[in-house]
Amino acid sequence: MSNKPLYVTQPHLPPLEEFIPYLEHIWANKRLTNSGPFHQQLEQALAEYLGVEHLALFANGTLALLTALQALRISGEVITTPYSFVATAHTLLWNEIQPVFVDIDPHSLNLDPKRIEAAITPRTTAILPVHVYGNPCDVEAIQTIADNYNLKVIYDAAHAFGVQDQGGSILRHGDLSVLSFHATKVFNTCEGGAIICPDAKSKQHIDHLKNFGFVGETTVVASGINGKMNEIQSALGLLQLKHVDQALARRHAIDGQYREGLGTTPGIRLLPRGSQVVDNHAYFPILVDDAYPLSRDQLYDKLKAEEIHGRRYFYPLITEFPMYRGLPSVQATDLTVATEISKRVICLPMYPALSDDDLSRIIQLLIP
């Protein structure tokens, strides 16, 4: 057993020698970006792997979210969750859209559909839910509300690579879904992301938007952005795809060991499984209840002192950051579940290279 630092995650990387031929190819053909061959291959390979029809690659998930909002011309107010990484809401502010925060469901920790209707105003144009930790939102309830009020739905699926419900990929829900391939994610291309599009026409529009709005050499049809994934990232993605099932299998095993080791520990609450039939085990969150002898922060510090660097995803809530504090929907009294959960959560180390010895050490430290 070692006491080397353990972080909440560690990027999964393929053997370096397997990447060299891809780099040699790029060096030889001098195609570095702008929808090169690896970019095209990865779009196709990912769509196949994920079981979706159309997918547009991006340089990162945040640019993909920004562009998804632009593509659907979202404006006014958008209903979203305070319990997410700050990028979710930042992309609304960058599009000059007002976020309207709604509380989360205490079991799934996702946007609570029962609370959405009360937050709808004449200015509401869309709902931006997050499949937090890869657990699916209540997609049917959300779609019913969206249909009744003529709202768009964009899923922030940054955590949801590979997750499936009864009907297939959860990325098929809503008008668009956005993935992140950041280093810390289940599937990574260093930085990267994608928009899942329902049809070829919307993919084409999004492809224009991510390339400054260019259509051909001299025509610009929209005030687009540079959101393109480059060839080195795309090549890494192609190689990562060959190893991702193995990585997911190891995550599954780690999740099982955590659940077995901690499932009956008084004061430690594990998240119940959601509606997914295929999980990705992107994170392993625990909730530290009053029955535990230490507070969440005492436990967090104790683990840190032992070089186990969990993370309090998502604390503080997005609504507590200064650029959101003045909004009408940020009152903690209206967000009681999210406020409570954010004070209790710690995400434990979860990544394929986590050894059984290190895993046992973490579990032993958590059992009082």
Residues that bind ligand T4K (CB under 6 A): 7-11, 60-62, 84-85, 87-88, 130, 156, 158-159, 180, 182-184, 193, 309, 311, 313
Pairing outcome for strands 345-348 and 284-288: antiparallel
CB count within 10 Å of CB 245 equals 11
Minimum CB–partner distance for residue 303 and ligand T4K (Å): 13
Minimum CB–partner distance for residue 216 and ligand T4K (Å): 29
- Beta carbon nearer to ligand T4K, 210 or 311: 311
Determine the residue type at 264: T
- Beta carbon nearer to ligand T4K, 170 or 292: 170
Minimum CB–partner distance for residue 342 and ligand T4K (Å): 14
Query: Coil, strand, or helix at residue 334?
Result: helix
Q: Nearest residue to ligand T4K, using CB?
A: 61
- Beta carbon nearer to ligand T4K, 203 or 311: 311
119 with 100: CB under 8 angstroms? yes
- Beta carbon nearer to ligand T4K, 62 or 143: 62
Minimum CB–partner distance for residue 174 and ligand T4K (Å): 15
Question: Which residues have a Cβ under 8 Å from the Cβ of 286 and sit 6 or more positions away?
Answer: 262, 268, 269, 270, 345, 346, 347, 348, 366
Tell me how far CA of residue 35 lies from CA of 26, 27, 203, 216, 248, in angstroms.
13, 16, 13, 13, 28
- Beta carbon nearer to ligand T4K, 88 or 292: 88
49 with 241: CB under 8 angstroms? yes
What tokens does 91 get? 């992309």
- Beta carbon nearer to ligand T4K, 281 or 292: 281
Determine the residue type at 167: G
Minimum CB–partner distance for residue 353 and ligand T4K (Å): 10
Minimum CB–partner distance for residue 366 and ligand T4K (Å): 19
Cross-strand bridge partners of residue 169:
164
Look-up: residue for tokens 């080397």?
Answer: 4
